[in-house]
Amino acid sequence: MGPLLSLHGVTKRFGGVSALSDVSFDVEEGEILGVIGPNGAGKTTLLGCISGTHRLDAGTARLGVGRTFQVVRPFASMTVRENVAVGALYGASRLPPSRAFHAADEVLELVGMAAKRTQPVATLTIPDRKRLEVARALATRPRVLLLDEVMAGLNSVEVDQALDIVRAVHRSGVTIVLIEHVMRVVLGVCHVVVVLDFGQMLAEGTPHDVLRDPRVIEAYLGERYARRLTGG
């Protein structure tokens, strides 16, 4: 049985600017794969190419995924439960309304928001809005979940809580691809890390190997930060 997600020669241009150039890697079923790199490296564009938001200029990417976005935009006039039910209604299973709400309840339990299911979205904190974004994506029943910087803007305690959610989602059987700048998240949950720089693959491997790679240190981390992360 082959990888759950395969990218081969993925290339994306915006006008004359090449955002991605010949990116290739596989994601095995059950993996958590992290994508890291400097701002402007092409990370979010890559998720757009995988999810079908962007049309590829070259290469192939096997689809069938759910994703979150950096800017969280739930349906503000709806409750938490109604927002998640929308994902179940229009996701892979196309559930009828009664079953969609039941599925929403299951997902909200998984991400720790069951107690807030009747709460209006407009009253949620930023951390809870990020949890809701994950829940909405999960409700579509993806085989691969794409997480785009869900830890951004969270304090240390909130990051730990978000890490617990990522682990719970992974234990439920979902393969995950995540973009992240918080390196302790990458070290804490990722099995494999891909590094992008100027739209090209710079490195791929285990988190500890990648974070010790001289090219990654030079392009992204810096010597002092890399030593602190890896204990070198």
- Lay out the sheet containing 17-27: strands in order across: 17-27, 5-14, 58-61
Residue 26 within a domain: yes
3-state secondary structure of 162: helix
- Domain boundary among the residues 141, 161, 185 is at 141
pLDDT given at position 52? 79
d(CA 137, CA 120): 19
Residue 69 within a domain: no
d(CA 178, CA 159): 14
Domain count, the chain: 2
Residue 210 within a domain: yes
First-to-final CA distance of the chain: 38
- Domain boundary among the residues 141, 171, 199 is at 141
pLDDT given at position 232? 60
Tokens 């969270």 -> residue: 154
Phi-psi label, residue 91: left if phi above 0, alpha if psi -120 to 50, beta otherwise: beta
CATH at 187? 3.40.50.300
Helix (H) or strand (E) holding 49: helix 43-51
DSSP letter, residue 121: G
Residue 191 within a domain: yes
Give the structural domain span for 106: 74-141
d(CA 133, CA 127): 10
- Domain boundary among the residues 101, 120, 141 is at 141
pLDDT given at position 175? 92
Same domain, 232 and 161: yes
Alpha-carbon 11 to chain mean position? 20
Same domain, 154 and 214: yes
Helix (H) or strand (E) holding 57: none
Low-confidence ranges of the chain (pLDDT < 70): 1, 62-73, 91-93, 223, 225-226, 230-232
pLDDT given at position 178? 92
Residue 226 within a domain: yes
- Tell how strand 200-205 and strand 32-36 pair up: unpaired
Per-residue pLDDT reduced to its tens digit, 123-147: 999 889 888 988 988 888 888 888 8
pLDDT given at position 71? 41
Same domain, 41 and 112: no
d(CA 26, CA 194): 10
Same domain, 56 and 31: yes
3-state secondary structure of 209: helix
pLDDT given at position 69? 42
